[in-house]
Amino acid sequence: MKRRGFLKLAGAVTVTALVSSSAETSAALVRSPVTTNRLRPPGAVPEEIFAGKCLRCGRCVEVCPYHCIELLDIRHGLHAGTPLIAVEKIPCYLCMKCVDVCPTGTLQRVEMAETRMGLAVINQFICAAWNGRALCRTCYDKCPFKNRAIRLEALKPVVDETDCTGCGLCTHACPVTSVDGRKGINVEPLYSGGKVKY
């Protein structure tokens, strides 16, 4: 291959890589940060309109006595400055103070028991109680709606999706973590229609 042919080929490869990288970067800048164990605060409007409605004032962060709400940084593109809760770090204790201070209604008033931030899902392959490694009931003990959102059946925890708020207290307390960082129980985000997003 002659030098000119090599340079053309190298240039084409570089341009292709840059375009591909640019497309991936663009997608990442608009992609929702809401994923497993990463949730919006209580009373959040649907994710499709959240970034457009949120003023990014930070009042929800300031008022939270548990410091569970954090503002996303510039790496989150369109969602930079919006609030998010990483429940395995600090779960939501459902004090509902954030909804009282939101000036735009991005976080709407909702009763504590009616909150639906997400849905706790038990990974039966990781959960110590489900795979017979231990008689663990940590998620059950920590649930603020014990015997409603999480109940025990044959000494194994079971989540009732009609009462689970998605607060993440169960995930935060779970003592079992897999090699990929998943817990024995994780909170999955909800679509605006109320279905679990996997």
- pLDDT value at 10 more than 80: no
pLDDT at 198 (0 to 100): 40
Once rounded to an integer, what is the mean pLDDT over residues 24-30?
A: 62
Q: Looking at the predicted structure, is the pLDDT value of residue 104 above 90?
A: yes
Give residues with Cβ within 8 angstroms of 97, minimum separation 6: 63, 64, 65
Which pLDDT belongs to residue 33? Answer: 93
Q: Distance between CA atoms of 157 and 122, rounded to whole angstroms?
A: 8
Write the DSSP assignment of 55-96 as a string of letters: ----HHHHH-TT--EEE--GGGGGGTT-EEEETTTS------
Supply the pLDDT for residue 181: 84
Between vectors from CA 136 to CA 131 and to CA 137, what angle results, nearest 5°?
A: 120
Where in the chain are the domains? Answer: 33-189
**Per-residue pLDDT tens digits for 35-83:** 999 999 999 999 999 999 999 999 999 999 999 999 999 999 999 999 9
**pLDDT band at 193, cuts 50/70/90?**
very low
% the chain with pLDDT above 70: 81
Q: Look over the chain and give the mean of its residue pLDDT values, rounded to a whole number.
A: 87
d(CA 6, CA 16): 15
**Sequence-separated (6 or more) residues with CB below 8 Å from residue 185:** 120, 121, 122, 123, 127, 139, 157, 159, 170, 171, 174
Which pLDDT score, from 0 to 100, does residue 179 have? 85
What pLDDT shows up at residue 28?
Answer: 62
What integer pLDDT is reported at residue 8 of this predicted model? 55
Distance in angstroms (rounded) separating the CA atoms of residues 96 and 101: 10
